[in-house]
Structure 1
């Protein structure tokens, strides 16, 4: 039985995350309506022990199941720490975290982001490029530059890294410059870790903090130039073309100039 159920502060959009007490423990309760959650959450729950054995402080899944009124819910302990803020002291911690996400164990994995990146960047299967083009001439010109940076006739070699797919600073909890939690893992899958590096690089740049060059070098040197370019293109497409009620208060057109500045910074050398 859940007690003291209350929405987490600062939510936007769907408002489906709550704090509560469960069996005397402080927990986070999440729920959603996506039809694939009954497959996603058991997969994530099964990977947590492997992640934690690598020193990745991933939040365990304490319980999960179908809700009587519809949807799927899962409980996780309420981890310490606060959403990360980019600092020079945190940079080494973040790069070490990315290293620990590499080389997932062989075996069945639910989400293959190798295929996803190809479908998004080359085939526009998610409609991101079309959505971005509708934002205006500046967005269309930027999208053309981004797609020209990728050799569409080739795709990066398949990789078997763990991929968070939304590794922004808000999903990394810290105590000072120490990472104490990794959250929002419900979309965990496998693919090139360059995908997460690009997402983190974009968020780092958005905060205007030093260290972007080190993150870009890491992405290129660890994953190769081709994988890095595809990951950057995927990040650009999703930032410009994603539509979600999570961000309903934001103007998508306002993302064009910051995205262009990040793209220029990534390829500044």
Structure 2
């Protein structure tokens, strides 16, 4: 299941996947520099993508996409490769087991029971079907909280970029912050500042993810937000109004769509 917000997606079950866009032009009639942002929740809420479009004097001059893991991913012991020594220091009483669906592979998985982002403390729980969720007093279940507002997802991005996220270890009536090694490494294991460790552009994602993202960014920067449909051709390359983007990523409608949504603001 993929979460999508306000993107108007229409799928056709064949080689044609179509994203309908209406009334979008390359430039806008305004002066000065305007930075526009939009967000979309992806893959069961494990990631949030941010689209940023910079417009100068009505002309698009830059387009960027970033994607950051949510706590449903970075508080997952398997995905974040927490070590046995770290688990021992953390304490089993501070863990929580729930079902985790990773691209169709559903397995019982251990998570941090409590995490903190910014000044908000989240506690792990599970859905009626046993799948992981995180909730706080201020937000409730974090996934509907994200879905309610781009501002909520922007808050999350800001705190994650600042490195303001932690596991929490119960201590008396309160908590103490607990760091793990992977918060300061990329996926291959090289040192990386904490605020970048959960960002796909820095931590290293699957092969061709980053090249595909750059192709989307470059295409829209060069061609603008042209009116048309998103269609994958016989060579499995995405096109927009018959213009070839070079991107082959399955989630093209979500990634390109979040930039279109930002541009339209």
TM-score (norm 2): 0.21
More helix by share: 1
Higher RCO (Cα < 8 Å, 6 or more apart): 2
TM-score (norm 1): 0.21
* Bigger Rg, structure 1 or 2: 2
More strand by share: 2
